[in-house]
Amino acid sequence: MVAVMIPRASVKADEGMWLPYVLDDALFEEMQSLGFNLTRDQLFSFTENSLKDAIVSIGGCTAEIVSPQGLMLTNHHCGKGRIQSHSSVGNDLLRDGFWAESFEDELPNPGMFARFLVRVEDVTAQVSEVLRDDMTEAERNMAIRTKSSELEDAAVAGTHYNATLRPMFAGNEFFLFVFETFTDVRLVGAPPASIGEYGGDTDNWMWPRHTGDFSIFRVYSGPDGKPADYSTHNIPLKPRHHLPVSIKGVKEGDFAMILGYPGSTNRYLTSHGIEFNLDNYYPVRIDIRRRKLDIIEAAMAENDENRIMYASRQAGVANYWKNFIGMSRALKHLDVADTKRQQENRFSGWVNADAGRRAQYGDLMQEYEAIYAGMRQFNSQNYIFMEAMASGPANLNLAGAFAGLLELLEAKDKQEEVATMIARLRSGVDRTFRNYNAQVEQQLWAAMFEEYYKRIPHKNLPEVFQTIERKYKNNFSRYAADVYSKSIFASAAKLNAFLDKPSARTLKNDPMFVAAQSVNNNFQQINGSLQEYNTRLARAERLYIKGLREMNPEGLFYPDANSTMRLTYGTVSGYYPADAVYYNFQTTMEGVMEKEDPTNHEFVLSEKLGTLYEKKDYGPYAEEGVMYVNFLSNNDITGGNSGSPVINGDGHLIGLAFDGNWEAMSGDILFEPQTQRTISVDIRYVLFVIEKYGNAKHLIEEMTIVR
């Protein structure tokens, strides 16, 4: 079976990030046959309260409402940045955990939001009215942007809602999404890292898993029930729906459904794209991320201050460092490119059988070849830039943000705009230096500039590298030391003093600003040259998906994930990862104990958890004396689904999705039904940790517990 082309005659559970608001009858009937017991309106409705009203986008992750007072669950790794922001050496919530005893103890999180889907509208017809076949891609994109703004504005006029128009199927269809966004979200509870991150990078993407990956927040509204910025006068949200929480447990073969906001998949990627990524995308990102991690992790091991300061950043770099390794390995091991070639050959055969199809699609595969051949000439410079510069040393991004200020200062008659710009830049200064160690950032500066120098063809290097070569003889450590000793961007005090009395001359002569301007301008030039191929690729992808759907008019298709709400359904199930090896669908507290290793920070066991295990003090959450920790289902998820609820056939919460499995890391490109699994934390383990470890039974008493 090839992903995203599913014949109606053989509807397949597990694969598919389905749009729940246009769910096909065959899919719904399949759900019912597997054990789904609710009606369509109970699943998803714009007029009645439904499951969709408990599903929350929190930006990069998903969460769910589990009480009539706005209590919200998500993963620990999704809440880690917020937990870190409240942590210090003397009050280490990352290490020790946190449990608010009352509403007043809950901690505000500026910048965090909880977004609820209000309604969706298929606006393909309206957008198509402004599109013509003879448009260039630039003209087409401009027409779509203009129409999108018009439709978005009209959809929320006179309301407090916000709207976004999103393309589906690479721009063959368009949907308008209307949201209600709450901005007062407070931290309520989190287990210590020894539970919430148990296994660390070693166990990331792996099964068997023994991680209590959850954190707890609460959404607040104004007294009128509408969104409001943080205020002591705000009240806990009264949600349209909250998920009942089941402690009945799971069995193999049980129905399991996930509603969430998956971020990005590429299921229509061709064999040409896979081969390009294996050569040009994954290797550079893996290598550069590893070098960043070596610097950051060494600093974190030095003291608690660094550990807390860089915890969230390390996790973000490490997560997709390992993902890229697994993706590359799985693509090769499963020979996904060959599977895609078979699909492409069938497509070419269908095209060549008809003159009209040949006129429309006949050159499509050759076009793909030409596009990727053109991209290869840039030696992965865009990916190297993203890793080494755009997400490298914190000071470089900060300095780059001051380019607009220089333009205003040189204009001389823009004083009001200068004041506005300075206010915005000060917030960036605060964010940068909130979690900042000058020595670590200086090491990152030296390492990332060296990586850039080694990996980019000399003729394409930014001008700043001429200075490094001439003045510092390519000694990148000496270059970084000089830059950090002289730049206003290396110190919050110096930078704020500059903003008090900004000077174009000071900015233009600052070594960090000069470097940022040099690499950013160079990247814009290279990216401009790449734009031709990106434009052609967008058109080719749109045509290919259109053709595939025409070739299989009776097939069921789903669009790639794009951070819009999706549904995936299937069953609880184990799998065979290799010959003669079977993985059971559940893990237990016994496995937590077996992995304990006091010499490895990733497997240090909490003393209190060990005591609870010894006493078998599990409360009502064990099953015949066994405390289950994680379980598997064959649901189809990707990044962005972290924190999504795993829901049983009665609409009750049974777990929180938090990971995929190593053997099927190519799943974003091709779903592997035999091996692809979602790893979730059993909701009973979550409740056990809350009540018995956190002594926070009052939080469970808020929930609707189904026994």
Residues marked active site are found at: 77, 213, 642
Task: Give the helix/strand (H/E) hosting 166.
Answer: strand 162-168
Positive or negative, the Cα torsion across 430, 431, 435, 436? negative
C-alpha closest to that of 12 among 677, 671, 680: 671
* 8 Å CB contact between 391 and 505: no
Distance CA 180, CA 57 (A): 10
**What angle is formed at CA 404 by the lines to CA 400 and CA 410, rounded to 5 degrees?**
120
- Residues with Cβ < 8 Å from 114, sequence gap 6 or more? 56, 57, 58, 63, 72, 181, 182, 185, 217, 219, 237
For the record, the structure tokens of 517 come out as 């301007």
Helix, strand, or coil here: 678? Answer: strand
Distance CA 550, CA 531 (A): 29
* 8 Å CB contact between 476 and 447: yes
How far is CA 95 from each of CA 201, 629, 696, rounded to the nearest angstrom? 16, 20, 18
Helix, strand, or coil here: 145? Answer: helix
Distance CA 17, CA 672 (A): 14
Task: Give the helix/strand (H/E) hosting 588.
Answer: strand 586-588
* 8 Å CB contact between 221 and 235: yes
Hey, which residues does 588 pair with through a beta bridge? Answer: 628
C-alpha closest to that of 377 among 533, 228, 231: 533
* 8 Å CB contact between 190 and 97: yes
